[in-house]
Amino acid sequence: MSNAGDIIQRGGITEIVGRLSSGRTSLLLTSLRRALEQGGVAALVDTDGAFDPESAQAAGIDGRRLLWVCCGGRRDIALRATDLLVRCPGFALIALDVGETPPALSLASAYRLRLAVRRVDSALVILGRRPIAGASASLVVETIPCGPEWIGTTASRLRLAGACTEVRVRRAQGTAPTREPVAWRWCAR
């Protein structure tokens, strides 16, 4: 899975799970850029308001094509906004960032989301600390931090160069892109 496009499952739900600083948000931004570079539009439902426009700009995301929904920490609003977006045809990618406290998503609601996404031929990516969509997710990938990379010789000249992440397929329906863990490297700005 060396390509962010392998994560985007059109007509299905993909979950990117991992702890903080594991690289899951960076992977999401890369997937967003991949979805937008074809000329489509995408939506990001941001539960905790953690989206950083500067990071998106660095990732090459066209802000004009990104609909950002700030939910102010309200999990119920985030789920309702996602439900509205998955029923609107035309979005190449809909991302739901549930933050560090994932909401309770019943299996019925998750399957409803999956059916809606399939109907409009879009892709739903859920970003969180742990999976919440259950069996309705087509692909669940886990990001495992491999540690930051520093450059510099002395403490005063130390600089964060980037971070390394291992992306592993935790569960996949049908043919998974690859079952082998793939290392990703991120560059600090």
Partner 1 sequence: MVRPVSFACVFVPWFTVAAEERCDPALREQALVIVTTATMPARRPSGRKRTAPRTSIPRVVEAGPLAREAGVRPGMTETEAHARCPALVTRALCVEHVNAAHQAMLDAALAVSPRVEDAGAGIVHVDIVGLASLVGDEHAVAERLLRQTSAVGLHSCVGVAGTRTAARIAARMGPRTVVIPLGHERAALAGVDLGVLDLPARLMDTFVNWGVRTLGDLAGLPRDGVVARLGAEGLAAHEAALGLDGTPFRPYLPPSFWEEAQALDWEIDALDALMRVVERVLERLTARLAAARVLAGELDVHLDLASGQRHARTIVLAHPLGEVHPMLTLISLDLEAHPPGAPITRVVVSASPVAPRVVQPELGSSPSPSVRDLAAVLARLSAVAGVDAIGSPRLLDTHRPDGFTLVPFAPPLVGGGDRRLDETKPTALEEGMPPLALRRLRPPRRAHVELEQEADGCRPARLRVEPNTRVERVVVCAGPWRRSGTWWDGQGWARDEWDAALVDGTLCRLVHDRLSDHWFLDGVYD
Residue 25 in contact with partner 1, rule: CB under 8 A: yes
d(CA 182, CA 189): 23
Residue 71 in contact with partner 1, rule: CB under 8 A: yes
Nearer to partner 1, 31 or 136 (CB): 31
H/E stretch holding 172 reads strand 159-172
In Å, how far are 78, 85, 97, 126 from 45, measured between CA atoms? Answer: 6, 9, 6, 9
DSSP state letter for 121: T
Residue 136 in contact with partner 1, rule: CB under 8 A: no
User: Residues 145, 172, 178, 182: which binds partner 1 (CB under 8 A)?
Assistant: 145
User: Residues 2, 3, 101, 152: which binds partner 1 (CB under 8 A)?
Assistant: 152
Nearer to partner 1, 134 or 145 (CB): 145
DSSP state letter for 108: H
Among candidates 74, 99, 135, 103, which has minimal Cα distance to 19?
A: 99
User: Residues 9, 26, 136, 138: which binds partner 1 (CB under 8 A)?
Assistant: 26
- Give the CA dihedral 81, 5, 15, 1, nearest 10 degrees: -170
d(CA 33, CA 15): 17
Tell me the closest approach of the beta carbon of residue 44 to partner 1, in angstroms.
Answer: 9
Nearer to partner 1, 107 or 148 (CB): 148
Residue 1 in contact with partner 1, rule: CB under 8 A: no
Among candidates 84, 95, 79, 82, which has minimal Cα distance to 36?
A: 95
Residue 53 in contact with partner 1, rule: CB under 8 A: yes
Nearer to partner 1, 159 or 179 (CB): 159
Residue 182 in contact with partner 1, rule: CB under 8 A: no
Residue 123 in contact with partner 1, rule: CB under 8 A: no
Among candidates 112, 106, 107, 117, which has minimal Cα distance to 76?
A: 106
Among candidates 177, 178, 138, which has minimal Cα distance to 11?
A: 138
Residue 98 in contact with partner 1, rule: CB under 8 A: no
- What residues numbered 28-47 form the site for partner 1, per CB under 8 A? 28-30, 33, 36-41
